[in-house]
Amino acid sequence: MDTIASGHAAALWVGLHVLLLLTLSLLVVRLRQKHKVALGDEGIPELARAIRAFGNASEYIPVGLAAIIVLALVGAPPLAIHVVGLVLFAGRLIHAVGLSNSGGASIPRALGMICTWVAYIFGAVALLFYAIG
């Protein structure tokens, strides 16, 4: 397999996920400054949602990136890496938007989690395929 192309595919998705985390972090900082809150959320729902959107992304993205990186290292086709990267990115973005808009259950939050799990499952199956084969 072409590990250079796989590495480039992984670099794209790692870079985009880093930018997503940075954006979510900046949204938290902006709201902290707006509401003059240094720690916690002080009961401000908008800030609480932004903190959780960043936190949730921080909890789910690293595992997906680990799968992407290992897939690149074992020479998985760039298409496999792009599938994991795109579905994970879409899921985390949709979930963050849904959570930022509403603290309750919502279609974007549910869809975001489904996309995240699909990316995890596809990545896990691909990793196991390369581990066995």
Our count of domains for the chain comes to 1
Q: What is the pLDDT of residue 33?
A: 97
Domain membership of residue 14 as a residue range = 3-132
Tell me how far apart the alpha carbons of residues 71 and 3 are, in angstroms, rounded to a whole number: 10
Mean pLDDT score, 86-111: 94
What would the pLDDT profile of 2-26 be if each residue is shown by its tens digit? Answer: 789 999 999 999 999 999 999 999 9
Per residue, the 3-state secondary structure of 10-30, as one string, reads HHHHHHHHHHHHHHHHHHHHH
Average pLDDT over residues 95-105: 91
% of the chain with per-residue pLDDT over 90: 93
For tokens 């899921």, the residue is 91
114-131 confidence digits (pLDDT tens): 999 999 999 999 999 999
pLDDT tens digits for range 36-60: 999 999 999 999 999 999 999 999 9
Q: How confident is the model at residue 1 (pLDDT cuts 50, 70, 90)?
A: low
Buried b (16+ CB within 10 A) or exposed e, 108-133: bbeebbebbebbbebbeebbeebeee
Domain harbouring 81, CATH code: 1.20.120.550
